[in-house]
Amino acid sequence: MKKLILALAFVPALVFASEGGYRLDHAPIVPTDQLSLQAGAKTFVNYCLNCHGAQFMRYNRLTDLGLTEAQIRDNLVLTDAKVGDTMKVALTAKDGKAMFGAAPPDLTVVGRSRGADWLYTYLRTFYRDEKSPTGWNNAAFPSVAMPHVLWTMQGERSLQVVEDEEHHGAAEYKWTQLTPGTQNEVQYDTTVRDLVNFLVYMGEPSAVNRKRLGVVALFFLGILFIFAYALKKEYWKDVH
Ligand code: HEC
């Protein structure tokens, strides 16, 4: 019995540890906010597309975000790609692997595979680590091969993990700001929120429209039901 209680006491700690041990923050994204999506797209093409592609996403699909093709061409196509092209990356998987030890994966559907909360946490929890080849490590993705590409905005931080004996190894995380970034914490959270909003949109570009259509369809079904019911009453009124 004692063993069982002991085992049960460890269950939460194990569940906790399974996701790299770091508690995920809730991503406050609003999928219908077009300004947020536009800001996220801008950050994505400037800071992510050098290493990661989004090969299932075409630039001109971004008219979804309330932009014209001319605006997309002028602001979001930073390579010699045409506005009808997919978001390809010049870096090959092989070069990426040679450079970083792991190939940067395509990010078109990462919003679905990792989820918004994970992405929001991941992009905000890089810290300086001298032992890592890039000089960076990450609380949500320990020993990650990706450097902190947004560090000029967030500044450099260090992380100290304090094991908590009383709570069976559940750790306490202590962040220290080493150098300031160009953005304060609130601004940086907003930058990442917009970027994650965009990553989630890419994973399912029609999600907002699909949900809107669903509501319209249900509305019409409701109307149809009223007519069908009235008709049924009309047909049966002489039978009884
Ligand atoms: C300098 C190249 C480089 C840049 C720029 C870069 N990344 Fe990465 N990224 C990588 C590498 C390499 C990995 C693979 C890490 C690993 O497997 O350890 C990675 C992994 C990731 C992952 C984890 C994917 C998964 O499911 O395992 C996400 C998410 C990600 N990057 C998002 C971004 C975003 C968003 C940006 C832009 C802000 C960005 N990256 C910019 C190199 C880069």
- The CATH number covering residue 105 comes to 1.10.760.10
Q: How close is the Cα of 138 to the center of ligand 1, in Å?
A: 11
User: How many Å apart are CA 196 and CA 207, to the nearest integer?
Assistant: 15
Question: In a 3-state reduction of DSSP, which class is residue 159?
Answer: strand
Mutate to test the pocket of ligand 1, among 29, 43, 52 (most ligand atoms within 8 A of CB): 52
Are both 103 and 219 inside the same structural domain?
no
Q: How far is CA 120 from the centre of its chain?
A: 6
Q: How close is the Cα of 210 to the center of ligand 1, in Å?
A: 29
Are both 143 and 234 inside the same structural domain?
no
User: How many Å apart are CA 28 and CA 30, to the nearest integer?
Assistant: 7
Are both 154 and 213 inside the same structural domain?
no
Are both 185 and 214 inside the same structural domain?
no
Q: How close is the Cα of 116 to the center of ligand 1, in Å?
A: 15
Are both 150 and 228 inside the same structural domain?
no
Domain count, the chain: 2
Say yes or no: CB of residue 104 within 6 Å of ligand 1. Answer: yes
pLDDT digits (tens), the chain, 240 positions: 666 555 555 554 444 433 457 999 999 999 999 999 999 999 999 999 989 999 999 999 999 999 999 999 999 999 889 999 999 988 888 898 988 999 999 999 999 999 999 999 999 999 999 999 999 999 999 999 999 999 999 999 999 988 777 766 667 899 999 999 999 999 999 999 999 999 999 999 988 888 889 999 999 999 999 999 999 999 999 886
Are both 130 and 212 inside the same structural domain?
no
Cβ neighbors of 204 (< 8 A, separation 6 or more) are: 111, 112
Q: How close is the Cα of 209 to the center of ligand 1, in Å?
A: 29
The closest-lying atom of ligand 1 relative to the alpha carbon of residue 119 is 29
User: How many Å apart are CA 46 and CA 76, to the nearest integer?
Assistant: 8
Say yes or no: CB of residue 111 within 6 Å of ligand 1. Answer: no
Are both 33 and 151 inside the same structural domain?
yes
Say yes or no: CB of residue 149 within 6 Å of ligand 1. Answer: yes
Say yes or no: CB of residue 124 within 6 Å of ligand 1. Answer: no
Say yes or no: CB of residue 47 within 6 Å of ligand 1. Answer: yes
The model carries a pTM of: 0.84
Are both 100 and 165 inside the same structural domain?
yes
Are both 234 and 115 inside the same structural domain?
no
Q: How close is the Cα of 104 to the center of ligand 1, in Å?
A: 5
Say yes or no: CB of residue 145 within 6 Å of ligand 1. Answer: yes
Residue of the CA atom closest to atom 15 of ligand 1 = 145
Core vs surface per residue 128-153: b (16+ CB within 10 A) or e: bbeebeeebbbbbbeebbbbbbbbeb
Residue of the CA atom closest to atom 13 of ligand 1 = 104
Are both 167 and 219 inside the same structural domain?
no
List the structure tokens of 170. 């559940």
Q: Give residue 237's domain range.
A: 206-240
Are both 98 and 217 inside the same structural domain?
no
pLDDT value at residue 166:
72
Are both 128 and 235 inside the same structural domain?
no
Count CA atoms within 13 Å of residue 18 on its CB side: 5
